Structure 1
Amino acid sequence: MHQPHAEPRRSIYYDYQVFDAWVPSQHPAQQHAPVVVAGAGPIGLVTALALAQQGVRCVVLEAERQVSEGSRAIAFTRRSMEILQQVGVAHRVTENGLPWNCGNSFYRGQRVFRMENPHDPDDRFAPLINIQQQYLEQYLVEACDAHSLVELRWGNKLVSFGQDASGATLQVDTAEGPYTLETDWLVAADGARSAIRALMDLKLEGASYEGKFVIADIRVDLPLPTERLAFFDPDWNPGNTILMHREPHGLWRLDYQLPPGETPEDALQPESLKARINAQLAMIGHAGVPWEMDWCSVYSARALTLPDYVHGRVLFVGDAAHLLPIFGVRGANTGFQDAQALAWRLALVARGVAPASLLQSYSSERVGAAREIIDEAGKSTRFMTPPTRGFRLLRDAVLSLSLTQPFVGPLYHWRTSRPHEYTRSPLNAVSDDNAAFERGPGHGAPPRNIRLDNDRFLLDHLDHRFTLLWATDNGSSLPDDVRALVDEARAQGLPLQVIAVGARQPVAGADRTLPDADGHLRRRHGLSSGGAYLLRPDQHVCARWAALDASRLRAALHTAIGLNTGASS
């Protein structure tokens, strides 16, 4: 019988809640769920919420009875906030998080590079925002609890499963003993040490780096701005790297690299932690300032991915699918994009609107994204923690030059996580006008989140449906053949909304009209009257036209839901 830890975790700033364990005797017999999500971390919860918002019931299994221990992922990108807005919790993060956009690199007491992430007046969210993972999980749990199509089963450990062409049969252990649960689809969101990945004997591909880092959260009063701080080759930790981030509630995150040969057990000894944290505080001019430890751990930099995220009826997301270096805040931020990319496809498949082959495009898109990230993150990782003597000599040469040669500074750039653009997706239209556009987001890119007025933005009007953005200057009705096609698609179960852009009055055939009096939205998207964009439910562009017509819209919709053969390649 599975008996998870029942005492609240210790923290100096977060009050842990121990949730009631779900046991079979206290619930009606439920032997089947359309989707089971294994893992109630941020990625699993976002996947479950997105599925529920699209009408798919899912059960979330979580072996523990509390949200995660320690701050873990703390820096969330603008694109992650847009995804969190789509599932209804972004406002909770902005209310309580710390926004920032600058990073600083120091060498021998001198700032040698300052990076400022771009921030546009059209951006609702800051480039990055810091908040501890426990709070984000809490907001997501509360959103799941409020949704009738999500069932969270705390204290439920998936111990084994089998699958066939129609679904999977799970063996789940609880405090009362095991029970059997059948599902059409199993989403593996069970993290870096994925039990599902191990049960299937699946191997990650890529590189693991030798460098190990201590991660420590301390409460300390430092009069410093909310900016990323990186220190290279400091006197107290020669040849290595230290990172610092401010967190809410008076906490600071310190990451420092260990010298070769030091074990995690030795590094986490209280005397070792105290000496090194004191040395870092002294180096930045705050020797002797009192501090209190909240949580600490050790991690290694890894750049690994499964070569395929779809294995029969089992679908992998987040750290269960890939392990990415933290440099550039990639782990959770990449996982949110996985969750968003999977959920709309799985919802259409689960509801019988699209063929199961559509899921292969999820794998090809997201494996491609992971490999691109691994290539970029590898550059940052090799700079932060050189894996060989040759890389160290190169890094040290850059450090030395940067003291006198400003042109060297950009080599410190940490290549921040960004939304992936699926330019080669099999779901992109093949007969649209994408190549003819001179501006605006192209195939596979998310749209510009245009500010419509002081507190409304374009993405506020996008939900989990396909969206047809249609430009009109004179307020004329949506063409009759397009209206007929939209009605036909909806009758077949395809979620599709139409937004007219540019008219002062409501447009017949459109679900809503955005006036765009100054033409800003249309200019940023390269649209003139009669032109249109088709956005997928994950908000990425899959087609755009200089002049919309029903036949090409029909072809684009069929391609986007995998009804053309290219989606299964």
Structure 2
Amino acid sequence: MVAERYKTAFTLYPYEKVSAQDAAPVRHPVVIVGGGPVGLALALDLGQKGTPALVLDDHEGAGLGSKAICFAKRTLDIAHRLGAGVPMVDKGVVWNVGRVFHGERQLFEFDLLPEDGHRNPAFINLQQPYFEQYLVQAIRAAQAEGAPIEIRGRNSAVGIDVHEDYATLDVETPDGPYQIEADYLIACDGARSPIRTMMGLDFDGRVFEDNFLIADVRMKADFPTERWFWFEPPFKDSGQSALLHKQPDDVWRIDFQLGWDIDRDAEMQEDRIRRRVDAMLSSQTGTVPEYELVWTSIYTFQCRRMKEFRHGPVFFAGDSAHQVSPFGARGANSGVQDADNLAWKLDAVLKGRAPKSLLDSYHTERAYGADENILNSSRATDFMTPKNTVSRLFRDAVLGLAKQHSFARPLVNSGRLSVPCVYDGFPHFGPDALDGPYATRPGAACPDAPLGSEYMLDRLGSDFSILALGGDAPHHDRINVVHIRDPEPTVRRRFLGDHTRAIYLIRPDQHIVARWPDFDASAVEAALLKTLGQ
């Protein structure tokens, strides 16, 4: 029988016995282990493209606890493309502004989305169970339209045999074991990935010894919906840093830096947690409102990744492939970008549109993204937790300058927040014959922009697109062609710069492949074949 690993916040796919449990192993094109944000997004993307996806999850829905709460604009753009973005933004707490303090002094504030013309905000705060619930709702809607997606709850992967071109899984259920086969197996089973462990694989990187306490607190409070971060906070027993921001349902996320040598059991005692929370609240409001401790946890920073994200027919995505500290909101956001990157490549290979070698580019691109996140996360952690006298002197000097001098503020690293990965110079991208705005260069994720009552990303969809700005491009049998003959000012600023015309080729994950000043059929075809690995 399957052990209950944790209770669910939402029962989304209760266990049902399937006929395959009493039959010889059935081969599936794609099997996904893990029903978190990454696995569900991957299954939804594949299914909407018509590629069958089977999700095996060892529980029956979203687990208890907020876990990931900060979802970035890039993730929301992906979720919107998949049909799940609107309820996420409607439920989430929208925020763009953050404030950084040193003791009682505010050093500065920042706005992560200072210009308009975007459908989605810079960030929303939304508890992970809601994020998963809305993905499952979108999966149900896609299934109703014929999308070949299946989720099996309380199906635990307990063994794996990797062959040259497929994998066999041993699966445990409440009705006993059975086996399935997968042309491609995607491990989205979290930081303690059973698949990774069963294959004898591990992480390379750093584990930081500092301990941090998360306390999710339900209360009525008048704090603004902003991200507040303190270095050396003024409230008692708060450690070297603290963080406060709001979630839906009147829940506030509070983080305290506890230090290196702690008694974890003692620190998790409710009375000790409440003393810390009481000190923070009384420092900010003069009183302590009535509140409920919704969820608490102690964690350490880890900045690590697997050496390779692909092992034959087995791929690793999200926390199973890479881990970063929670400060910066890079974990779930980078995992959803993993799914975004892998889905269209699996689809293209399984439909015969691309060679199998295209799948190697998943590791190449997403390991680069993981390294970028690990670098920034490590810098943030080192800045927050100086390890020697020189490091502390540098940090305190930067903090002292930051209040009055803007040049010092980029040096203040309190968990610089998640940004889209840009694949600069990667071999599967084409030329930049336009030399246009830097933000829309090849390798970058296509930004959104208003098009009357629509938005740019809606017009692009989930397949390859040619974007023709200020001119025309002919019909193409294999590519969606989007004509914008009279671009609005925002579109001109983001895509044209000083030019009056431009042609963009854009991948199904809405990363820009190449761009030109005018349409050239042979150049577009060459760039398309290149990005497909042909």
**Residue equivalent to 1:52:** 47
Matched, 1:531 2:502: yes
Q: Structure 1-normalised TM-score?
A: 0.87
Deviation at 1:333, TM superposition (A): 0.8
User: Could you tell me which amino acid in structure 1 is paired with residue 89 of structure 2?
Assistant: T
CA distance change for structure 1 residues 314 and 280 in 2, over 3 Å: closer, same or farther?
same
Over residues 336-382 of structure 1, what are the superposed CA-to-partner deviations in whole Å (9 max), with x where a residue is unaligned? 11110111101111222111110111111111111112112221111
Unaligned runs of 5+ in 1: 10-14, 491-495, 503-514, 564-569
Secondary structure at the residue paired with 2:195? helix
Choose the corresponding residue for 1:17, options 11, 14, 31.
11
Choose the corresponding residue for 1:541, options 492, 495, 512.
512
User: Could you tell me which amino acid in structure 2 is paired with residue 231 of structure 1?
Assistant: W
Secondary structure at the residue paired with 1:357? helix
CA distance change for structure 1 residues 470 and 289 in 2, over 3 Å: closer, same or farther?
same
Over residues 50-107 of structure 1, what are the superposed CA-to-partner deviations in whole Å (9 max), with x where a residue is unaligned? 1111111011011012312201111111111101111110001111111111111122
CA distance change for structure 1 residues 18 and 457 in 2, over 3 Å: closer, same or farther?
closer
**Residue equivalent to 1:194:** 193
Deviation at 1:115, TM superposition (A): 1.7
The 2-side partners of 1:145 and 1:32 are apart by 23
**Residue equivalent to 1:567:** none
Choose the corresponding residue for 2:529, options 533, 537, 558.
558
User: Could you tell me which amino acid in structure 2 is paired with residue 23 of structure 1?
Assistant: K
Deviation at 1:5, TM superposition (A): 6.0
User: Could you tell me which amino acid in structure 2 is paired with residue 416 of structure 1?
Assistant: L
Matched, 1:107 2:105: no
Deviation at 1:178, TM superposition (A): 0.7
Aligned residue runs from structure 1 range 127-526, under 5 A = 127-146=122-141, 147=143, 148-235=147-234, 236-237=236-237, 239-402=239-402, 408-413=408-413, 414-430=415-431, 433-434=433-434, 436-437=435-436, 441-453=440-452, 455-473=453-471, 478-479=473-474, 483=475, 486-487=476-477, 490=478, 496-502=479-485, 516=487, 518=488, 520-522=490-492, 524-526=494-496
User: Could you tell me which amino acid in structure 2 is paired with residue 521 of structure 1?
Assistant: V
CA distance change for structure 1 residues 199 and 98 in 2, over 3 Å: closer, same or farther?
same
The percentage of aligned residue pairs carrying the same residue is: 36
The 2-side partners of 1:349 and 1:403 are apart by 53
Deviation at 1:155, TM superposition (A): 0.2
**Residues 268-277 or 378-387, more deviating:** 378-387
CA distance change for structure 1 residues 18 and 526 in 2, over 3 Å: closer, same or farther?
closer
User: Could you tell me which amino acid in structure 2 is paired with residue 359 of structure 1?
Assistant: L
The 2-side partners of 1:331 and 1:287 are apart by 35
Deviation at 1:188, TM superposition (A): 0.7
**Partners of 1:119 and 1:126 within 8 A in 2:** no
**Partners of 1:440 and 1:526 within 8 A in 2:** no
Over residues 154-193 of structure 1, what are the superposed CA-to-partner deviations in whole Å (9 max), with x where a residue is unaligned? 0010011112122111100001111000110000100111
Q: What is the CA RMSD across the aligned residues, in angstroms?
A: 2.2
Matched, 1:42 2:40: no
The 2-side partners of 1:144 and 1:460 are apart by 19
CA distance change for structure 1 residues 387 and 349 in 2, over 3 Å: closer, same or farther?
farther
User: Could you tell me which amino acid in structure 2 is paired with residue 422 of structure 1?
Assistant: Y
Deviation at 1:26, TM superposition (A): 8.7
CA distance change for structure 1 residues 521 and 393 in 2, over 3 Å: closer, same or farther?
closer
Deviation at 1:27, TM superposition (A): 7.2
Deviation at 1:229, TM superposition (A): 0.8
Choose the corresponding residue for 1:69, options 45, 64, 68.
64
**Residues 105-114 or 524-533, more deviating:** 524-533
CA distance change for structure 1 residues 57 and 279 in 2, over 3 Å: closer, same or farther?
same
**Residues 73-82 or 139-148, more deviating:** 139-148
**Residue equivalent to 1:12:** none
**Partners of 1:3 and 1:155 within 8 A in 2:** no
CA distance change for structure 1 residues 122 and 55 in 2, over 3 Å: closer, same or farther?
same
Matched, 1:96 2:97: no
User: Could you tell me which amino acid in structure 2 is paired with residue 460 of structure 1?
Assistant: D
Over residues 501-527 of structure 1, what are the superposed CA-to-partner deviations in whole Å (9 max), with x where a residue is unaligned? 20xxxxxxxxxxxx53x4653453128
**Partners of 1:230 and 1:242 within 8 A in 2:** yes
**Partners of 2:210 and 2:258 within 8 A in 1:** yes
The 2-side partners of 1:164 and 1:149 are apart by 25
**Partners of 1:119 and 1:127 within 8 A in 2:** no
Secondary structure at the residue paired with 1:498? strand
Choose the corresponding residue for 1:120, options 94, 115, 122.
115
User: Could you tell me which amino acid in structure 2 is paired with residue 452 of structure 1?
Assistant: L
Secondary structure at the residue paired with 1:218? strand
**Partners of 2:13 and 2:151 within 8 A in 1:** no
**Partners of 1:439 and 1:526 within 8 A in 2:** no
Deviation at 1:17, TM superposition (A): 2.8
Q: Structure 2-normalised TM-score?
A: 0.93
The 1-side partners of 2:412 and 2:17 are apart by 52
Secondary structure at the residue paired with 1:71? coil
**Partners of 2:437 and 2:494 within 8 A in 1:** no
Deviation at 1:397, TM superposition (A): 3.7
CA distance change for structure 1 residues 530 and 281 in 2, over 3 Å: closer, same or farther?
closer
CA distance change for structure 1 residues 216 and 356 in 2, over 3 Å: closer, same or farther?
same
Deviation at 1:416, TM superposition (A): 1.6
**Partners of 2:58 and 2:156 within 8 A in 1:** yes
Deviation at 1:440, TM superposition (A): 5.9
Deviation at 1:531, TM superposition (A): 3.5
Secondary structure at the residue paired with 1:284? helix
**Partners of 2:238 and 2:257 within 8 A in 1:** no
Deviation at 1:400, TM superposition (A): 4.7
**Residues 362-371 or 522-531, more deviating:** 522-531
**Partners of 1:501 and 1:522 within 8 A in 2:** no
Deviation at 1:316, TM superposition (A): 1.0
Matched, 1:85 2:86: no
Unaligned runs of 5+ in 2: none
User: Could you tell me which amino acid in structure 2 is paired with residue 249 of structure 1?
Assistant: D
Deviation at 1:551, TM superposition (A): 1.3
The 1-side partners of 2:46 and 2:12 are apart by 26
The 1-side partners of 2:122 and 2:469 are apart by 29
User: Could you tell me which amino acid in structure 2 is paired with residue 524 of structure 1?
Assistant: R
Secondary structure at the residue paired with 2:65? coil
Deviation at 1:242, TM superposition (A): 0.7
CA distance change for structure 1 residues 34 and 387 in 2, over 3 Å: closer, same or farther?
farther
Over residues 92-129 of structure 1, what are the superposed CA-to-partner deviations in whole Å (9 max), with x where a residue is unaligned? 11111111111111222111121221332221111111
Deviation at 1:149, TM superposition (A): 1.1
